Structure 1
Protein backbone atom coordinates (compact mmCIF):
# COMPACT_ATOMS: atom_id res chain seq x y z
CA UNK A 1 0.00 0.00 0.00
CA UNK A 2 1.25 3.48 -0.88
CA UNK A 3 2.41 5.40 2.21
CA UNK A 4 2.06 9.12 1.49
CA UNK A 5 3.95 10.31 4.57
CA UNK A 6 6.85 8.00 3.81
CA UNK A 7 6.86 9.21 0.21
CA UNK A 8 6.98 12.87 1.28
CA UNK A 9 9.92 12.16 3.56
CA UNK A 10 11.83 10.21 0.92
CA UNK A 11 11.01 12.69 -1.86
CA UNK A 12 11.99 15.73 0.21
CA UNK A 13 13.01 18.97 -1.47
CA UNK A 14 16.64 19.82 -0.73
CA UNK A 15 17.99 23.36 -0.96
CA UNK A 16 21.51 24.20 0.22
CA UNK A 17 21.67 21.02 2.28
CA UNK A 18 18.35 21.62 4.07
CA UNK A 19 15.39 19.33 3.38
CA UNK A 20 11.68 20.10 3.26
CA UNK A 21 8.79 17.64 2.98
CA UNK A 22 6.58 20.29 1.38
CA UNK A 23 7.33 21.61 -2.11
CA UNK A 24 4.96 24.55 -1.59
CA UNK A 25 6.34 27.90 -0.46
CA UNK A 26 4.02 30.73 0.55
CA UNK A 27 4.42 34.46 1.04
CA UNK A 28 3.39 36.87 3.77
CA UNK A 29 2.02 39.88 1.90
CA UNK A 30 -1.57 41.15 1.62
CA UNK A 31 -3.05 39.01 4.40
CA UNK A 32 -5.56 40.69 6.71
CA UNK A 33 -3.40 40.00 9.74
CA UNK A 34 -0.35 38.10 10.95
CA UNK A 35 -2.77 35.68 12.62
CA UNK A 36 -4.45 34.89 9.30
CA UNK A 37 -1.04 34.45 7.70
CA UNK A 38 -0.13 31.95 10.42
CA UNK A 39 -3.35 29.98 9.91
CA UNK A 40 -2.84 29.88 6.13
CA UNK A 41 0.75 28.72 6.58
CA UNK A 42 -0.34 25.90 8.86
CA UNK A 43 -3.15 24.84 6.50
CA UNK A 44 -0.82 24.87 3.48
CA UNK A 45 1.69 22.47 4.98
CA UNK A 46 4.47 24.74 3.69
CA UNK A 47 7.72 24.88 5.63
CA UNK A 48 9.11 28.03 3.99
CA UNK A 49 7.52 31.48 4.14
CA UNK A 50 8.92 34.48 2.30
CA UNK A 51 8.87 37.88 3.98
CA UNK A 52 9.29 41.17 2.13
CA UNK A 53 11.55 42.96 4.60
CA UNK A 54 10.51 46.40 3.35
CA UNK A 55 6.79 45.67 3.82
CA UNK A 56 6.37 43.08 6.57
CA UNK A 57 8.07 43.59 9.92
CA UNK A 58 10.53 40.95 11.07
CA UNK A 59 13.35 43.33 12.03
CA UNK A 60 11.83 45.68 14.66
CA UNK A 61 10.99 43.90 17.92
CA UNK A 62 9.24 47.03 19.23
CA UNK A 63 6.42 46.75 16.67
CA UNK A 64 4.00 43.96 15.83
CA UNK A 65 6.29 41.34 14.35
CA UNK A 66 5.54 38.35 12.14
CA UNK A 67 8.06 36.34 14.15
CA UNK A 68 5.70 36.64 17.15
CA UNK A 69 3.26 34.48 15.19
CA UNK A 70 5.49 32.15 13.17
CA UNK A 71 8.13 30.05 14.90
CA UNK A 72 11.52 30.27 13.11
CA UNK A 73 12.42 26.90 14.68
CA UNK A 74 9.51 25.27 12.87
CA UNK A 75 9.56 27.20 9.59
CA UNK A 76 12.26 28.70 7.41
CA UNK A 77 11.69 32.45 7.33
CA UNK A 78 12.97 33.54 3.93
CA UNK A 79 13.59 37.31 3.79
CA UNK A 80 12.72 38.88 0.45
CA UNK A 81 14.17 42.01 -1.17
CA UNK A 82 10.83 42.89 -2.83
CA UNK A 83 10.56 46.59 -3.60
CA UNK A 84 14.22 46.98 -4.55
CA UNK A 85 15.09 48.43 -7.96
CA UNK A 86 18.89 48.28 -7.89
CA UNK A 87 21.49 45.75 -6.84
CA UNK A 88 22.69 48.17 -4.15
CA UNK A 89 19.21 48.44 -2.61
CA UNK A 90 18.79 44.67 -2.63
CA UNK A 91 22.21 44.12 -1.02
CA UNK A 92 21.48 46.64 1.76
CA UNK A 93 18.08 45.05 2.41
CA UNK A 94 19.59 41.57 2.58
CA UNK A 95 22.31 42.75 4.97
CA UNK A 96 19.73 44.45 7.20
CA UNK A 97 17.61 41.30 7.31
CA UNK A 98 20.58 39.11 8.23
CA UNK A 99 21.80 41.50 10.90
CA UNK A 100 18.36 41.74 12.51
CA UNK A 101 17.33 38.08 12.28
CA UNK A 102 20.49 36.02 11.90
CA UNK A 103 18.99 34.44 8.78
CA UNK A 104 21.48 34.12 5.91
CA UNK A 105 18.93 32.95 3.31
CA UNK A 106 17.55 35.54 0.91
CA UNK A 107 14.94 35.53 -1.81
CA UNK A 108 16.52 38.03 -4.15
CA UNK A 109 14.28 40.38 -6.11
CA UNK A 110 15.47 43.36 -8.12
CA UNK A 111 12.56 44.82 -10.05
CA UNK A 112 13.15 46.45 -13.43
CA UNK A 113 9.72 47.91 -14.13
CA UNK A 114 7.21 49.28 -11.63
CA UNK A 115 4.15 48.51 -13.76
CA UNK A 116 4.89 44.88 -14.63
CA UNK A 117 7.14 44.06 -11.64
CA UNK A 118 9.33 42.06 -13.98
CA UNK A 119 12.91 41.46 -12.80
CA UNK A 120 15.98 43.39 -13.88
CA UNK A 121 18.22 40.45 -14.67
CA UNK A 122 21.50 42.37 -14.85
CA UNK A 123 20.99 44.02 -11.48
CA UNK A 124 19.74 40.77 -9.95
CA UNK A 125 22.82 38.91 -11.17
CA UNK A 126 25.09 41.65 -9.82
CA UNK A 127 23.44 41.44 -6.41
CA UNK A 128 23.53 37.62 -6.46
CA UNK A 129 27.27 37.57 -7.12
CA UNK A 130 27.93 39.88 -4.17
CA UNK A 131 25.57 38.15 -1.73
CA UNK A 132 26.87 34.65 -2.52
CA UNK A 133 30.40 35.88 -1.72
CA UNK A 134 29.05 37.28 1.56
CA UNK A 135 27.82 33.83 2.58
CA UNK A 136 24.13 34.16 1.72
CA UNK A 137 22.00 31.30 0.43
CA UNK A 138 20.56 33.13 -2.58
CA UNK A 139 17.30 32.24 -4.34
CA UNK A 140 16.76 34.75 -7.17
CA UNK A 141 13.44 35.70 -8.76
CA UNK A 142 14.13 35.64 -12.53
CA UNK A 143 12.58 35.64 -15.98
CA UNK A 144 11.80 32.22 -17.47
CA UNK A 145 15.13 32.43 -19.28
CA UNK A 146 17.26 29.25 -19.38
CA UNK A 147 20.42 31.14 -20.35
CA UNK A 148 20.22 33.47 -17.36
CA UNK A 149 19.12 30.60 -15.09
CA UNK A 150 22.44 28.91 -15.83
CA UNK A 151 24.31 32.15 -15.10
CA UNK A 152 22.70 32.32 -11.66
CA UNK A 153 23.65 28.74 -10.97
CA UNK A 154 27.22 29.45 -12.08
CA UNK A 155 27.63 32.34 -9.61
CA UNK A 156 26.54 30.05 -6.76
CA UNK A 157 22.81 30.55 -6.26
CA UNK A 158 21.20 27.71 -4.31
CA UNK A 159 18.09 27.62 -6.53
CA UNK A 160 16.45 29.64 -9.29
CA UNK A 161 12.91 31.01 -9.18
CA UNK A 162 11.55 31.71 -12.66
CA UNK A 163 8.16 33.40 -12.97
CA UNK A 164 5.10 31.61 -14.31
CA UNK A 165 3.49 34.99 -15.07
CA UNK A 166 3.83 38.53 -13.67
CA UNK A 167 3.63 38.92 -9.88
CA UNK A 168 0.07 39.05 -8.62
CA UNK A 169 -1.46 38.49 -12.06
CA UNK A 170 -3.03 35.11 -11.34
CA UNK A 171 -2.59 34.19 -15.00
CA UNK A 172 -1.01 30.82 -14.32
CA UNK A 173 1.82 29.26 -16.29
CA UNK A 174 2.36 31.14 -19.57
CA UNK A 175 5.41 29.46 -21.07
CA UNK A 176 5.82 25.80 -20.09
CA UNK A 177 8.58 25.26 -22.65
CA UNK A 178 10.95 27.80 -21.11
CA UNK A 179 10.37 26.30 -17.66
CA UNK A 180 11.21 22.88 -19.13
CA UNK A 181 14.36 24.31 -20.72
CA UNK A 182 15.40 25.85 -17.38
CA UNK A 183 14.89 22.54 -15.61
CA UNK A 184 17.11 20.86 -18.21
CA UNK A 185 19.82 23.54 -18.06
CA UNK A 186 20.48 23.73 -14.31
CA UNK A 187 21.18 21.23 -11.56
CA UNK A 188 19.97 23.42 -8.67
CA UNK A 189 16.29 23.32 -7.64
CA UNK A 190 13.81 25.19 -9.85
CA UNK A 191 11.02 26.87 -7.88
CA UNK A 192 8.34 28.45 -10.05
CA UNK A 193 7.48 31.84 -8.59
CA UNK A 194 4.72 34.39 -9.34
CA UNK A 195 1.55 34.20 -11.40
CA UNK A 196 -0.27 31.33 -9.71
CA UNK A 197 -3.99 32.14 -9.47
CA UNK A 198 -5.50 29.09 -7.79
CA UNK A 199 -4.78 25.50 -6.85
CA UNK A 200 -5.74 24.47 -10.38
CA UNK A 201 -2.66 26.28 -11.74
CA UNK A 202 -0.24 24.17 -9.71
CA UNK A 203 -0.41 20.62 -11.14
CA UNK A 204 0.51 21.72 -14.71
CA UNK A 205 3.58 23.42 -13.25
CA UNK A 206 4.63 20.50 -11.07
CA UNK A 207 4.08 18.04 -13.93
CA UNK A 208 6.96 19.77 -15.75
CA UNK A 209 9.28 18.27 -13.16
CA UNK A 210 10.10 21.48 -11.29
CA UNK A 211 11.06 21.22 -7.65
CA UNK A 212 8.45 23.49 -6.11
CA UNK A 213 6.02 26.40 -6.38
CA UNK A 214 5.76 29.71 -4.54
CA UNK A 215 2.53 31.63 -4.20
CA UNK A 216 1.22 34.55 -2.16
CA UNK A 217 -1.50 36.67 -3.78
CA UNK A 218 -3.57 33.64 -4.80
CA UNK A 219 -3.85 32.77 -1.11
CA UNK A 220 -4.22 36.25 0.34
CA UNK A 221 -6.89 37.33 -2.18
CA UNK A 222 -8.86 34.07 -2.18
CA UNK A 223 -12.40 34.35 -0.78
CA UNK A 224 -11.39 31.68 1.72
CA UNK A 225 -7.60 31.63 2.13
CA UNK A 226 -7.64 28.60 4.42
CA UNK A 227 -9.54 26.43 1.93
CA UNK A 228 -7.27 27.64 -0.87
CA UNK A 229 -4.20 26.78 1.21
CA UNK A 230 -5.49 23.25 1.76
CA UNK A 231 -6.27 22.91 -1.95
CA UNK A 232 -2.78 24.08 -2.88
CA UNK A 233 -1.21 21.67 -0.41
CA UNK A 234 -2.85 18.76 -2.19
CA UNK A 235 -2.34 20.25 -5.68
CA UNK A 236 1.44 20.28 -5.20
CA UNK A 237 1.44 16.67 -4.05
CA UNK A 238 -0.86 15.63 -6.92
CA UNK A 239 1.29 17.38 -9.51
CA UNK A 240 4.48 15.89 -8.13
CA UNK A 241 3.03 12.36 -8.05
CA UNK A 242 1.65 12.77 -11.56
CA UNK A 243 5.09 13.81 -12.84
CA UNK A 244 6.80 10.87 -11.18
CA UNK A 245 4.09 8.45 -12.34
CA UNK A 246 4.62 9.43 -16.00
CA UNK A 247 1.66 10.44 -18.13
CA UNK A 248 0.35 8.48 -21.08
CA UNK A 249 1.33 9.70 -24.58
CA UNK A 250 -0.97 12.12 -26.35
CA UNK A 251 -2.54 10.70 -29.52
CA UNK A 252 -4.37 12.17 -32.48
CA UNK A 253 -6.97 9.40 -32.66
CA UNK A 254 -8.95 7.42 -30.13
CA UNK A 255 -7.60 4.15 -28.76
CA UNK A 256 -10.07 1.71 -27.12
CA UNK A 257 -9.58 1.39 -23.39
CA UNK A 258 -10.79 -2.22 -23.49
CA UNK A 259 -8.97 -4.99 -25.44
CA UNK A 260 -10.45 -5.87 -28.85
CA UNK A 261 -9.14 -9.41 -28.95
CA UNK A 262 -12.02 -11.87 -29.35
CA UNK A 263 -14.57 -9.16 -30.20
CA UNK A 264 -16.45 -9.90 -33.47
CA UNK A 265 -15.64 -7.42 -36.24
CA UNK A 266 -18.55 -5.31 -37.45
CA UNK A 267 -18.44 -3.55 -40.78
Structure 2
Protein backbone atom coordinates (compact mmCIF):
# COMPACT_ATOMS: atom_id res chain seq x y z
CA UNK A 1 0.00 0.00 0.00
CA UNK A 2 1.40 3.36 -0.96
CA UNK A 3 1.58 6.07 1.68
CA UNK A 4 0.20 9.18 0.07
CA UNK A 5 -1.65 12.33 0.96
CA UNK A 6 -5.42 12.09 0.98
CA UNK A 7 -6.93 14.90 -1.12
CA UNK A 8 -9.32 17.27 0.61
CA UNK A 9 -12.37 18.97 -0.97
CA UNK A 10 -11.66 22.23 -2.74
CA UNK A 11 -12.74 25.27 -0.68
CA UNK A 12 -15.73 27.22 -1.92
CA UNK A 13 -17.21 30.48 -0.71
CA UNK A 14 -20.39 30.28 -2.79
CA UNK A 15 -23.54 31.50 -1.02
CA UNK A 16 -25.95 29.09 0.61
CA UNK A 17 -29.01 29.01 -1.63
CA UNK A 18 -32.36 27.23 -1.62
CA UNK A 19 -33.99 27.73 -4.97
CA UNK A 20 -33.59 31.43 -5.73
CA UNK A 21 -33.22 32.49 -2.09
CA UNK A 22 -29.82 33.25 -0.58
CA UNK A 23 -29.55 32.49 3.14
CA UNK A 24 -26.92 33.52 5.68
CA UNK A 25 -27.63 30.63 8.08
CA UNK A 26 -26.78 27.07 6.99
CA UNK A 27 -28.78 25.57 9.85
CA UNK A 28 -32.30 24.27 9.09
CA UNK A 29 -34.24 23.37 12.24
CA UNK A 30 -37.14 21.01 12.84
CA UNK A 31 -39.96 22.02 15.18
CA UNK A 32 -41.23 18.70 16.60
CA UNK A 33 -41.12 17.28 20.15
CA UNK A 34 -39.99 20.32 22.11
CA UNK A 35 -40.96 20.48 25.80
CA UNK A 36 -43.05 23.61 25.29
CA UNK A 37 -43.79 26.32 22.71
CA UNK A 38 -41.60 28.75 24.65
CA UNK A 39 -38.61 26.39 24.59
CA UNK A 40 -39.14 25.93 20.86
CA UNK A 41 -39.19 29.68 20.26
CA UNK A 42 -36.07 30.20 22.39
CA UNK A 43 -34.27 27.38 20.57
CA UNK A 44 -35.17 28.88 17.19
CA UNK A 45 -33.72 32.20 18.28
CA UNK A 46 -30.54 30.57 19.61
CA UNK A 47 -30.05 28.59 16.41
CA UNK A 48 -30.14 31.62 14.15
CA UNK A 49 -31.98 29.50 11.60
CA UNK A 50 -33.80 30.99 8.62
CA UNK A 51 -35.67 27.80 7.71
CA UNK A 52 -38.15 25.95 9.93
CA UNK A 53 -39.52 22.54 9.05
CA UNK A 54 -42.86 21.12 10.17
CA UNK A 55 -44.54 17.78 9.60
CA UNK A 56 -47.81 18.11 7.72
CA UNK A 57 -49.46 14.92 8.92
CA UNK A 58 -48.98 16.03 12.52
CA UNK A 59 -50.03 19.64 12.19
CA UNK A 60 -52.57 20.22 9.45
CA UNK A 61 -55.50 18.14 10.61
CA UNK A 62 -55.00 15.33 8.08
CA UNK A 63 -55.83 11.78 9.24
CA UNK A 64 -53.68 10.94 12.23
CA UNK A 65 -52.79 14.57 12.88
CA UNK A 66 -54.26 17.67 14.47
CA UNK A 67 -53.38 21.32 14.59
CA UNK A 68 -53.97 22.45 18.19
CA UNK A 69 -52.61 25.91 17.30
CA UNK A 70 -49.13 24.62 16.47
CA UNK A 71 -49.16 25.90 12.90
CA UNK A 72 -50.01 29.41 14.03
CA UNK A 73 -47.17 29.35 16.57
CA UNK A 74 -44.71 28.35 13.87
CA UNK A 75 -46.11 30.91 11.44
CA UNK A 76 -45.85 33.71 13.99
CA UNK A 77 -42.33 32.69 14.99
CA UNK A 78 -41.18 32.46 11.38
CA UNK A 79 -42.72 35.84 10.54
CA UNK A 80 -41.08 37.49 13.56
CA UNK A 81 -37.66 36.15 12.62
CA UNK A 82 -37.98 36.52 8.87
CA UNK A 83 -37.64 32.75 8.46
CA UNK A 84 -39.02 30.50 5.74
CA UNK A 85 -41.37 27.58 6.33
CA UNK A 86 -40.40 24.19 4.93
CA UNK A 87 -43.33 21.76 5.31
CA UNK A 88 -42.50 18.08 4.91
CA UNK A 89 -44.32 14.96 3.82
CA UNK A 90 -43.10 12.73 6.67
CA UNK A 91 -45.24 9.64 7.06
CA UNK A 92 -46.04 9.23 3.37
CA UNK A 93 -45.53 5.81 1.83
CA UNK A 94 -46.21 6.52 -1.84
CA UNK A 95 -45.58 9.18 -4.44
CA UNK A 96 -49.32 9.78 -4.79
CA UNK A 97 -49.76 10.41 -1.06
CA UNK A 98 -46.75 12.75 -0.91
CA UNK A 99 -47.92 14.75 -3.93
CA UNK A 100 -51.37 15.22 -2.42
CA UNK A 101 -49.91 16.36 0.89
CA UNK A 102 -47.52 18.78 -0.81
CA UNK A 103 -50.38 20.48 -2.65
CA UNK A 104 -52.28 20.76 0.63
CA UNK A 105 -49.28 22.43 2.24
CA UNK A 106 -48.92 24.95 -0.56
CA UNK A 107 -52.57 25.92 -0.25
CA UNK A 108 -52.61 26.20 3.53
CA UNK A 109 -49.14 27.60 4.23
CA UNK A 110 -48.63 29.64 1.07
CA UNK A 111 -45.20 28.22 0.21
CA UNK A 112 -43.98 26.27 -2.79
CA UNK A 113 -41.07 24.81 -0.80
CA UNK A 114 -41.53 21.18 0.18
CA UNK A 115 -39.29 18.72 1.99
CA UNK A 116 -40.18 15.53 0.18
CA UNK A 117 -40.18 12.30 2.19
CA UNK A 118 -41.45 8.95 0.90
CA UNK A 119 -40.48 6.17 3.30
CA UNK A 120 -40.01 2.64 2.01
CA UNK A 121 -38.99 0.72 5.13
CA UNK A 122 -40.69 0.97 8.52
CA UNK A 123 -37.70 -0.11 10.61
CA UNK A 124 -34.97 2.09 9.16
CA UNK A 125 -37.30 4.77 7.74
CA UNK A 126 -35.16 4.55 4.62
CA UNK A 127 -36.60 6.49 1.67
CA UNK A 128 -38.12 4.59 -1.24
CA UNK A 129 -35.97 5.75 -4.19
CA UNK A 130 -38.49 4.75 -6.85
CA UNK A 131 -41.46 6.55 -5.31
CA UNK A 132 -39.27 9.47 -4.23
CA UNK A 133 -37.99 10.20 -7.73
CA UNK A 134 -41.49 9.84 -9.20
CA UNK A 135 -42.93 12.29 -6.65
CA UNK A 136 -40.06 14.74 -7.15
CA UNK A 137 -40.50 14.78 -10.90
CA UNK A 138 -44.23 15.51 -10.63
CA UNK A 139 -43.87 18.17 -7.93
CA UNK A 140 -41.16 20.00 -9.86
CA UNK A 141 -43.51 20.02 -12.86
CA UNK A 142 -46.21 21.42 -10.57
CA UNK A 143 -44.02 24.38 -9.62
CA UNK A 144 -42.60 23.24 -6.28
CA UNK A 145 -39.07 23.79 -5.00
CA UNK A 146 -38.46 20.19 -3.97
CA UNK A 147 -35.97 19.30 -1.23
CA UNK A 148 -35.90 15.48 -1.25
CA UNK A 149 -34.79 13.49 1.77
CA UNK A 150 -32.80 10.53 0.47
CA UNK A 151 -29.95 8.19 1.30
CA UNK A 152 -26.36 8.98 0.34
CA UNK A 153 -26.62 6.79 -2.77
CA UNK A 154 -25.05 8.65 -5.69
CA UNK A 155 -27.31 7.23 -8.40
CA UNK A 156 -30.49 8.13 -6.50
CA UNK A 157 -29.20 11.67 -6.04
CA UNK A 158 -28.35 11.92 -9.73
CA UNK A 159 -31.89 10.82 -10.62
CA UNK A 160 -33.33 13.47 -8.29
CA UNK A 161 -31.23 16.16 -9.95
CA UNK A 162 -32.35 14.90 -13.35
CA UNK A 163 -35.94 15.24 -12.10
CA UNK A 164 -35.33 18.95 -11.50
CA UNK A 165 -34.27 19.13 -7.83
CA UNK A 166 -31.80 21.93 -7.16
CA UNK A 167 -31.36 20.78 -3.55
CA UNK A 168 -30.68 17.22 -2.41
CA UNK A 169 -30.75 16.14 1.24
CA UNK A 170 -28.86 12.87 1.88
CA UNK A 171 -28.93 11.29 5.32
CA UNK A 172 -25.91 10.89 7.55
CA UNK A 173 -27.59 7.95 9.30
CA UNK A 174 -31.18 6.75 9.86
CA UNK A 175 -33.63 9.33 11.21
CA UNK A 176 -33.38 9.84 14.96
CA UNK A 177 -30.42 7.48 15.40
CA UNK A 178 -27.87 10.13 16.37
CA UNK A 179 -25.11 7.97 14.90
CA UNK A 180 -23.47 10.74 12.92
CA UNK A 181 -21.74 10.33 9.55
CA UNK A 182 -21.82 6.59 8.85
CA UNK A 183 -20.31 6.97 5.37
CA UNK A 184 -18.19 10.12 4.97
CA UNK A 185 -16.84 8.70 1.70
CA UNK A 186 -20.31 8.68 0.17
CA UNK A 187 -20.95 12.29 1.20
CA UNK A 188 -17.55 13.34 -0.11
CA UNK A 189 -18.36 11.61 -3.39
CA UNK A 190 -21.69 13.42 -3.64
CA UNK A 191 -19.92 16.73 -3.13
CA UNK A 192 -17.40 15.95 -5.84
CA UNK A 193 -19.95 14.66 -8.37
CA UNK A 194 -22.61 17.32 -7.71
CA UNK A 195 -20.55 20.50 -7.34
CA UNK A 196 -23.37 22.85 -8.37
CA UNK A 197 -26.15 21.21 -6.33
CA UNK A 198 -27.02 22.43 -2.85
CA UNK A 199 -26.37 19.49 -0.49
CA UNK A 200 -27.95 19.47 2.96
CA UNK A 201 -27.28 16.62 5.37
CA UNK A 202 -30.61 15.58 6.83
CA UNK A 203 -31.10 12.96 9.57
CA UNK A 204 -28.83 10.98 11.84
CA UNK A 205 -26.78 13.75 13.44
CA UNK A 206 -26.62 13.55 17.23
CA UNK A 207 -23.76 15.81 18.30
CA UNK A 208 -22.47 19.24 17.29
CA UNK A 209 -19.23 17.55 16.24
CA UNK A 210 -21.21 15.53 13.67
CA UNK A 211 -22.42 18.75 12.10
CA UNK A 212 -18.89 20.15 12.02
CA UNK A 213 -17.65 17.01 10.27
CA UNK A 214 -20.36 17.31 7.62
CA UNK A 215 -19.58 20.95 6.96
CA UNK A 216 -15.86 20.23 6.70
CA UNK A 217 -16.67 17.86 3.82
CA UNK A 218 -18.08 20.80 1.88
CA UNK A 219 -21.74 20.06 2.58
CA UNK A 220 -23.77 23.26 2.21
CA UNK A 221 -26.08 22.96 5.21
CA UNK A 222 -27.49 20.79 7.99
CA UNK A 223 -31.09 19.97 8.88
CA UNK A 224 -31.86 18.39 12.23
CA UNK A 225 -34.54 18.15 14.89
CA UNK A 226 -34.20 15.44 17.55
CA UNK A 227 -30.60 16.27 18.46
CA UNK A 228 -31.88 19.65 19.68
CA UNK A 229 -35.43 18.97 20.84
CA UNK A 230 -34.57 15.77 22.74
CA UNK A 231 -31.48 17.13 24.48
CA UNK A 232 -31.41 18.13 28.12
CA UNK A 233 -31.27 21.82 27.19
CA UNK A 234 -32.67 22.46 23.68
CA UNK A 235 -31.82 26.16 23.72
CA UNK A 236 -28.20 25.60 24.65
CA UNK A 237 -27.93 22.71 22.19
CA UNK A 238 -29.36 24.82 19.37
CA UNK A 239 -26.67 27.39 20.04
CA UNK A 240 -23.99 24.68 20.12
CA UNK A 241 -25.07 23.33 16.74
CA UNK A 242 -25.12 26.82 15.30
CA UNK A 243 -21.50 27.36 16.38
CA UNK A 244 -20.48 23.90 15.17
CA UNK A 245 -21.98 24.49 11.72
CA UNK A 246 -20.38 27.91 11.41
CA UNK A 247 -17.00 26.55 12.56
CA UNK A 248 -17.08 23.60 10.18
CA UNK A 249 -17.97 25.78 7.21
CA UNK A 250 -15.30 28.35 8.09
CA UNK A 251 -12.73 25.57 8.28
CA UNK A 252 -13.76 24.22 4.89
CA UNK A 253 -13.62 27.65 3.28
CA UNK A 254 -10.22 28.32 4.83
CA UNK A 255 -8.87 25.12 3.29
CA UNK A 256 -8.23 22.10 5.48
CA UNK A 257 -4.70 20.73 5.61
CA UNK A 258 -4.22 17.49 3.66
CA UNK A 259 -4.06 14.26 5.63
CA UNK A 260 -1.20 11.80 5.38
CA UNK A 261 -0.53 8.18 6.31
CA UNK A 262 2.94 9.13 7.55
CA UNK A 263 4.28 11.68 9.99
CA UNK A 264 5.40 15.02 8.61
CA UNK A 265 7.59 17.17 10.86
CA UNK A 266 6.24 20.62 11.59
CA UNK A 267 9.76 22.08 11.59
CA UNK A 268 11.83 19.83 9.29
CA UNK A 269 15.62 20.06 9.52
CA UNK A 270 16.61 17.82 6.63
CA UNK A 271 18.00 19.81 3.72
CA UNK A 272 18.03 23.02 5.80
CA UNK A 273 21.24 25.05 6.16
CA UNK A 274 22.55 25.56 9.70
CA UNK A 275 25.69 26.94 11.34
CA UNK A 276 27.87 25.13 13.91
CA UNK A 277 29.45 27.46 16.45
Please, what TM-score do these two structures have when normalized by structure 2? 0.86
**What is the aligned partner in structure 1 of residue 4 from structure 2?**
none
Question: For 1:103-122, what aligned pairs fall within 5 Å after superposition?
Answer: 103-122=111-130
**What is the aligned partner in structure 2 of residue 226 from structure 1?**
235
Distance 2:68 2:213 in 1: 41
Distance 1:117 1:264 in 2: 67
Pairing 1:202–2:205 present? no
Q: CA deviation at 1:107?
A: 0.1
Q: Secondary structure at the match of 1:54?
A: helix
Q: Secondary structure at the match of 1:55?
A: helix
Distance 2:129 2:210 in 1: 25
Query: Per-residue CA shift, 1:109-138, capped at 9, x if unaligned?
Result: 000011111100100111111111110000
Distance 1:153 1:16 in 2: 13
Which structure has more relative contact order (CA 8 Å, sep 6+)? It is 2
**What is the aligned partner in structure 2 of residue 70 from structure 1?**
77
Cα RMSD over matched residues?
2.2
Question: For 1:117-132, what aligned pairs fall within 5 Å after superposition?
Answer: 117-132=125-140
Q: CA deviation at 1:12?
A: 3.3
Q: CA deviation at 1:35?
A: 2.5
Note if contact 1:28-1:216 (Cα within 8 Å) is conserved in structure 2.
yes
Pairing 1:141–2:149 present? yes
**What is the aligned partner in structure 1 of residue 3 from structure 2?**
none
**What is the aligned partner in structure 1 of residue 171 from structure 2?**
163
Distance 1:253 1:65 in 2: 55
Distance 1:175 1:220 in 2: 25
**What is the aligned partner in structure 1 of residue 95 from structure 2?**
87
Note if contact 2:149-2:168 (Cα within 8 Å) is conserved in structure 1.
yes
Query: Per-residue CA shift, 1:18-51, capped at 9, x if unaligned?
Result: 0110111110111122322221111011110111
Q: Secondary structure at the match of 2:98?
A: helix
Distance 2:61 2:248 in 1: 33
**What stretches of structure 1 move > 4 A for 4+ residues in a row?**
57-62, 261-265
